[in-house]
Amino acid sequence: MSKSKTSRKKDSVFLGEKLTRFSVSNHHLLAIGGIAFKDTLLSMYFYGLKGLSDEGCFLVRQMEVGQGAAEAIRKVHGKIYRVGSSPDILYPNSGSSRDWARIQGIPMTYTFELRDNGTLGFLLPEDQIQPTCEEAYSGALHIITYTHDKTFNGAIAVTGATLWSMLLAVGVTRVTM
């Protein structure tokens, strides 16, 4: 990540922008980012995280939630997303916003790598934009719902970010489901 992107991400988390996180009383529960292209849902790196509690159980939960989101995405238009850490399913990298967010204490962090599978690069054909938004909506909704249900156990919650602002974070607008 570039210096300017890193600075903006830090500022969005610590200065209170509500577009990339789901929070309660300034306790951040979830961070979702989006980029193109690879049809993947990336979880954090999981390497060198000494001092973070219960990482074993956390890793299993992170993968289960990611697999659930990938299944929600598949149900929309049949698109198959791979789930895992970048070194496991793409290439080794570190210093991503999802890794940084986890180290800052945000328990659930993901990056959606949206369509296409790499053939067209960043030039997504117009006829794939709406389906991509619908898939991202479905996957993000699964992650947000899981995070809400596990945090509040069915209680009514007053949150620092609305569902709509979370969905804007992954670039979803004007989607009708």
Q: Taking residues 119-148, report their average pLDDT.
A: 88
Q: Which residue has the higher pLDDT, 124 or 68?
A: 68
Q: If pLDDT is split at 50, 70 and 90, which confidence band does 72 have?
A: very high
In the predicted structure, residue 50 carries a pLDDT above the cut 60: no
Residue 106, pLDDT score: 77
What values do phi and psi take at 135, rounded to 5? Answer: -65, -45
Considering 64, 113, 126, 135, which one is annotated as catalytic?
A: 113
Whole-structure pTM value: 0.68
Q: Taking residues 21-49, report their average pLDDT.
A: 64
Q: Which domains does the chain have, with CATH numbers?
A: 3-169 (3.40.630.10)
In the predicted structure, residue 108 carries a pLDDT above the cut 90: no
Q: If pLDDT is split at 50, 70 and 90, which confidence band does 70 have?
A: very high
User: Could you confirm whether 113 is annotated as catalytic?
Assistant: yes
Q: Taking residues 52-74, report their average pLDDT.
A: 81
Q: Taking residues 71-90, report their average pLDDT.
A: 90
Averaged confidence pLDDT in the chain: 70
Residue 12, pLDDT score: 54
Residue 160, pLDDT score: 38
Q: Taking residues 103-122, report their average pLDDT.
A: 78
